[in-house]
Structure 1
Amino acid sequence: MFLPARDAFPVETRRPYRMNRRPEERVKVLGGEMDLVRPEEVFHFVAGRIAGGKGAIVANHNLHSLYLLQKDPQVVDFFKAAELIEVDSVPLIFWARIVGRASRRFHRCTYLDWRNDFWARATKENWKVFFVGGAPGVADKALENIRRDWPTAQVESHQGYFDVTDGGAENEAVVARIKAYKPDILFVGMGMPRQEKWLLENHKKLDPCVGFTVGGAFDYEAGVQLAAPRWMGQVGMEWLFRLMADPERLFTRYCVEPWHLFGPAMADARRALARQLKPGKKKNAVPPEAAYRRATDLALKP
């Protein structure tokens, strides 16, 4: 059993402009914190921030980002700054479920999964979107395809092959262009961790907007990369499709880096076992579904 999306509740019952997390939503798995939210909850959060004239950073975790957390302090700082952290990995969702977290497949949140719903919402709400990333010409082709499907979409872009040095002339020119456009939403697709570091350094220079890191999303939009069938993503096999399509670039990411997460995985398993063996556990404790509903009622209480 699962609860209806937040948008199913009357507007007056919601707290605006901030994430109303249930205890089950923010979890720590494989050394990183993340939010077990569905796409409609992400859009609700985004709409609230925009309506309130406030900015935010929306990050996403996968096995690669969790590996980078161990290696790069700037990546750690980025995820600390993020107000919402999506889960972009079905294997990660499966592991969270194994160690006792309330994760489900519908908690996978990635651009390719919520693309259609996002652009439908963006055109309805008249959100202005700016994309920075991709090779020269790629973003232009991506925008052409988006405008074909959603003619009223307000979206502009800048290629991602520029000197991102903080304070450098090229970087400041890109920041100035974004500021002049005044987007509600900023998509940054420069690959991990370059996009995370750039957004961390530059988001504070912009007028309030909601910044997302989206990786190669616009490469897929432009057709320069072939996206895996969505069913492969839903069953946790998208990584295999991508590895077969680009083995030279992705072999280390998919076949070597996960072994570095063995330590955090064992820590997860120990914590899960400790929760199960916790003394004083009542046999007639509140059933999980009832506790879930109770926590949600408290979160949505005006």
Structure 2
Amino acid sequence: MQPKQFNLLGIRFDLLNMREAVDLITRKIEAKERGYISLVSAHPAIEAQFAKRYKAVLNNASLLLPDGMSTVWAARLLGNKIDDRIYGPDLMSELLKVAEDKNYSSFFYGGTEEASKELITRLKDRFPRLKIAGTYSPPFRELSEDEDNNAVKYIKDRNPDILWVGLGAPKQDIWMSLHKDRLDGIMQIGVGAAFRFHAKIVRQAPEWMQRCGLEWLFRIIQEPKRLWWRYFKCVPLFILFVLLQYIGVLRYDKERQK
């Protein structure tokens, strides 16, 4: 049974709370489903408005979940009953608890080698029985065909149940979409900066800032050179586009590809 969905800027989000999302993803992992799960905040939602291919990638996800408070507020403005966001780092923590309990193996794709080592060390402290299949740190450039084939083979040889992808949006969503058919029986989950948060390389915003939708401001203060333009561009555009959808100037069809 497919979950209810809501349309925000032409992107079809699945309407689930955290418990429902964890339970559904667990069933998909148990069934060895092939697919990918994307978590979307204001930034990727705006990127998708200017890239039809990327919007199609998001709408083809096995599950598409609202990661940011801005997406939750926008959904409510458009008349949807939504409890809370499905925050990537929290979803990762909840699913790793399940993985530890059910002996699912996890592979981590993304980040630097140093960050990956720190991530694994931290996760082993928190989840001592967690089965870790491996890590792979791709270079910060497009991989050659041979490099990509080798990476895929490396992942498949380790046969993980879950492939965590931490490349950041939109790169991670596109990567998961391109590799879905080559990673049979592996559920991919794109969690962006969650790798660095769980490795304690980057601090998470205080809970009160997260609840108030000010996490973007906290992240800009920490990484101004990397993030200021992203948020300077996407926050005003997101507000504008949502208001245009609300008053009916922007209309979107109701179909979601699978």
Please give the TM-score of this superposition, normalised by the length of structure 2. 0.88
Q: 1:103 matched to which residue of 2?
A: 82
Q: 1:37 matched to which residue of 2?
A: 16
Whole-angstrom distance in 2 between the partners of 1:76 and 1:114 = 23
1:262: how far off? 5.2
Mark the CA change 1:261 to 1:237 in structure 2 (over 3 Å): closer, same or farther.
closer
Q: 1:229 matched to which residue of 2?
A: 206
Whole-angstrom distance in 1 between the partners of 2:150 and 2:207 = 37
Mark the CA change 1:173 to 1:52 in structure 2 (over 3 Å): closer, same or farther.
same
Task: Choose which of 110, 135, 138 in structure 2 pairs with 1:157.
Answer: 135
Whole-angstrom distance in 2 between the partners of 1:243 and 1:162 = 21
Mark the CA change 1:244 to 1:170 in structure 2 (over 3 Å): closer, same or farther.
same
1:195: how far off? 1.2
Q: 1:255 matched to which residue of 2?
A: 232
Task: Choose which of 111, 127, 135 in structure 2 pairs with 1:134.
Answer: 111
Whole-angstrom distance in 1 between the partners of 2:22 and 2:161 = 13
SS at match of 2:184: coil
Q: Is the 8 A contact 1:50 1:184 kept in 2?
A: yes
The residue type equivalent to 1:20 in the other structure is Q
Whole-angstrom distance in 2 between the partners of 1:46 and 1:36 = 14
Whole-angstrom distance in 2 between the partners of 1:237 and 1:90 = 9
Whole-angstrom distance in 2 between the partners of 1:198 and 1:115 = 19
Kindly indicate whether residue 31 of structure 2 is the aligned counterpart of residue 52 of structure 1.
Answer: yes
Deviates more, 1:121-130 or 1:230-239: 230-239
Q: Is the 8 A contact 2:35 2:62 kept in 1?
A: yes
1:53: how far off? 2.4
Q: Is the 8 A contact 1:53 1:208 kept in 2?
A: yes
* Percent identity (aligned): 25
The 5-angstrom pairing of residues 110-125 of structure 1 reads: 110-125=87-102
The residue type equivalent to 1:220 in the other structure is F
SS at match of 2:125: helix
Kindly indicate whether residue 56 of structure 2 is the aligned counterpart of residue 77 of structure 1.
Answer: yes
Q: Is the 8 A contact 1:90 1:236 kept in 2?
A: yes
Please give the TM-score of this superposition, normalised by the length of structure 1. 0.76
The 5-angstrom pairing of residues 234-245 of structure 1 reads: 234-245=211-222
Higher relative contact order (CA 8 A, sep 6+): 2
For the pair shown, which has the larger CA radius of gyration, 1 or 2?
1
1:147: how far off? 0.6
Q: Which runs of 5+ in 1 are unaligned?
A: 1-18, 273-302
SS at match of 1:256: helix
How many residues matched?
A: 248
1:131: how far off? 0.8
RMSD: 2.0
The residue type equivalent to 1:233 in the other structure is Q
For each residue in 1:207-229, what CA deviation from the matched residue of structure 2 results, as whole angstroms up to 9, or x when unmatched?
Answer: 21111111121112222211212
Mark the CA change 1:232 to 1:115 in structure 2 (over 3 Å): closer, same or farther.
farther
Q: 2:72 matched to which residue of 1?
A: 93
